[in-house]
A = this chain, B = another copy of it.
Amino acid sequence: MTDLHDLVGHRDVARILDWLADEHDDHRVSEELVRLPHVERAIVFRLLGKDRALSVFEKLDPSQQAELIEGLRTEEVADLLERIDPDDRAHLLDELPAKVAKRLLAGVSPEERNRTTLLMGYGPSTTGRIMTPEFVTARASETAASALQRIRRAGVDAETIYAVWVLDDERRLLGVVSLKTLVLAQPDDRVRDLMDTDVTTASTDEDQEATARRIQDHDLLAIPVLDRERRLVGIVTFDDAMDVLEEEDTEDIARLGASEPLDRPYLGSSVALLARKRAVWLLVLIVAATLTINVLQYFEETLETVITLALFIPLLIDTGGNAGSQASTVLVRAMAVGEVRFADLPGIVWREARVGVVLGAMLAAIGFVPVWTFFGWEIAVVVCLTLVTICTWATFVGALMPLVARRIGIDPAVVSAPIITTFVDATGLLIYFSIARITLGI
């Protein structure tokens, strides 16, 4: 049998995996493990897979466990994981057992938390990235007085002691009891009778925003974060949830305004950074807007015949853009706060189309007489018919696009107001000149 030490020296992930698959004795693996230098040890440990990692971890003695955890936390391991081949990384970043995860996260500063959670196999923007392992627990069988005693001992380091999590021997969550309940209870009341078993939970691989919205919707102080086996690995507190929501809202607002969010405060951003965050969008949009040149070129003859048509171009495309933005921003927000799902699409599109007709008809009714007075009834008919059609079309597109974007995995805010406006401009001109040609007979 090849020596594990040699394989690791070559960073040959496939063959290490083979070696681990052939070696069924976890005790032997743990022995080989401690012989490796600490970076290599971390790699092999991360390649074990979740269940086996726990079994191997438990065969190490406490000082070896501490050494392994220490090794997993070093910058070299983090760097290595960042540089490694993406296929190999998938093997390396399977979820860690809850027991190891908690130890790994303990005492990590908020600044280091991001690096450590990356290492633990939690993807970007997942709840695993923002959870803290500093919580307090109780046993179902103990009394309120004993639970309070335990909290007094453990509480100083905990992020919050106001929610006390009740766990079984396997770290599975049985319920939650608030510090308020414990303080107000009789000392000999049992935790079992005080705890609330209907706990709102989050999971490590869930999107941060979804977890934060749940904290907000249920007015929670903290939410427990469970791994795939429903074991408690961390909590997210309300203040971190507020920060996540503020950041998400800032991102949405930036994208609704056709730029990428700044990653630092506005006043601390340089001219170069501000320009960079906007340049790509501005460029994408102007390239898209060249479509309007093509449309107008196609109708150049019509335009030369009735130059008056040109006068209404900005007004009509602005109105279309506004009607589209109205629909899309309302929907982007409704999706962000979780009010609307893809399944609601047919109902929404039908509803929005009717809203568009109503708005277009209103504008046409108000505009008809003034346009007739100044530009004659033919232009008035063309402009007013266009208003109804453009408003309906823009509202329809504005409602449809964010929902479709979410479905195909794009942030709905990205395809919102500015992109819809540009798209509606080009198609709106097509509508306008088609109606003009038919109505004016040119």
Is there an interface contact between A162 and B184, defined as CB atoms closer than 8 Å?
A: no
Contact A285 to B339, CB < 8 A, known contacts A313-B313, A362-B279:
no
* Residues 223-245 of chain A, each 1 if its beta carbon lies under 8 Å from chain B, else 0: 00000000000000011011101
Nearest residue in B to A285 (C-beta to C-beta)? B322
Contact A250 to B307, CB < 8 A, known contacts A155-B180, A314-B317:
no
Q: Which residues of B contact A391 (CB under 8 A)?
A: 282
Binds B, one of A15-23, A87-95, A289-297: A289-297
Binds B, one of A54-62, A189-197, A326-334: A326-334
Is there an interface contact between B417 and A359, defined as CB atoms closer than 8 Å?
A: no
Query: Residue A314 contacts which of B266, B271, B363, B429 (CB distance < 8 angstroms)?
Result: B429
Q: With the chains together, A328 CA to B337 CA distance in Å?
A: 23
State the oligomeric state as a number of copies: 2
In the complex, what's the smallest C-beta–C-beta distance from A257 to chain B, in angstroms? 3
In the complex, what's the smallest C-beta–C-beta distance from A213 to chain B, in angstroms? 9
* Residues 314-357 of chain A, each 1 if its beta carbon lies under 8 Å from chain B, else 0: 11011101110110111111100101100010011001101100
Binds B, one of A35-43, A44-52, A97-105, A418-426: A418-426
Query: Residue A340 contacts which of B161, B267, B297, B421 (CB distance < 8 angstroms)?
Result: B267
List residues 359-396 of chain A with CB under 8 A from any CB of chain B.
359, 362-363, 366-367, 391
Q: With the chains together, A339 CA to B250 CA distance in Å?
A: 12
Nearest residue in B to A354 (C-beta to C-beta)? B271
Q: Which residues of B contact A425 (CB under 8 A)?
A: 314, 318
List residues 133-178 of chain A with CB under 8 A from any CB of chain B.
148, 151-152, 155-156, 160-162
Query: Residue A367 contacts which of B286, B315, B367 (CB distance < 8 angstroms)?
Result: B286
Q: Which residues of B contact A314 (CB under 8 A)?
A: 289, 292-293, 296, 313-314, 317, 425-426, 429
Nearest residue in B to A158 (C-beta to C-beta)? B180
Nearest residue in B to A361 (C-beta to C-beta)? B275
* Residues 253-290 of chain A, each 1 if its beta carbon lies under 8 Å from chain B, else 0: 11011110010011100011011001101110110011
In the complex, what's the smallest C-beta–C-beta distance from A369 to chain B, in angstroms? 13
In the complex, what's the smallest C-beta–C-beta distance from A317 to chain B, in angstroms? 6
Does any Cβ of B come within 8 Å of A219's Cβ? yes
Does any Cβ of B come within 8 Å of A310's Cβ? yes
Q: Which residues of B contact A344 (CB under 8 A)?
A: 267
In the complex, what's the smallest C-beta–C-beta distance from A194 to chain B, in angstroms? 14
Number of A residues near B (Cβ < 8 Å) is: 102
Is there an interface contact between B322 and A258, defined as CB atoms closer than 8 Å?
A: yes
Is there an interface contact between A359 and B318, defined as CB atoms closer than 8 Å?
A: no
Is there an interface contact between A417 and B254, defined as CB atoms closer than 8 Å?
A: no
Does any Cβ of B come within 8 Å of A304's Cβ? yes
Q: Which residues of B contact A431 (CB under 8 A)?
A: none
Contact A253 to B333, CB < 8 A, known contacts A292-B315, A293-B312, A319-B285:
yes
Contact A311 to B326, CB < 8 A, known contacts A339-B265, A359-B282:
no
Q: Which residues of B contact A201 (CB under 8 A)?
A: none
Q: With the chains together, A286 CA to B16 CA distance in Å?
A: 68
In the complex, what's the smallest C-beta–C-beta distance from A163 to chain B, in angstroms? 10
Is there an interface contact between A282 and B162, defined as CB atoms closer than 8 Å?
A: no
Does any Cβ of B come within 8 Å of A249's Cβ? yes
Q: With the chains together, A307 CA to B252 CA distance in Å?
A: 39
Nearest residue in B to A307 (C-beta to C-beta)? B304
Beyond the given pairs A267-B347, A283-B366, 12 more chain A to chain B contacts, judged by CB atoms under 8 angstroms and listed by A's residue number, are A152-B183, A179-B179, A241-B242, A242-B242, A249-B253, A252-B253, A253-B332, A256-B257, A266-B330, A292-B315, A313-B314, A314-B425
A-B contact pairs, 5 of them (CB 8 A): A253-B329, A257-B329, A258-B329, A271-B351, A285-B319
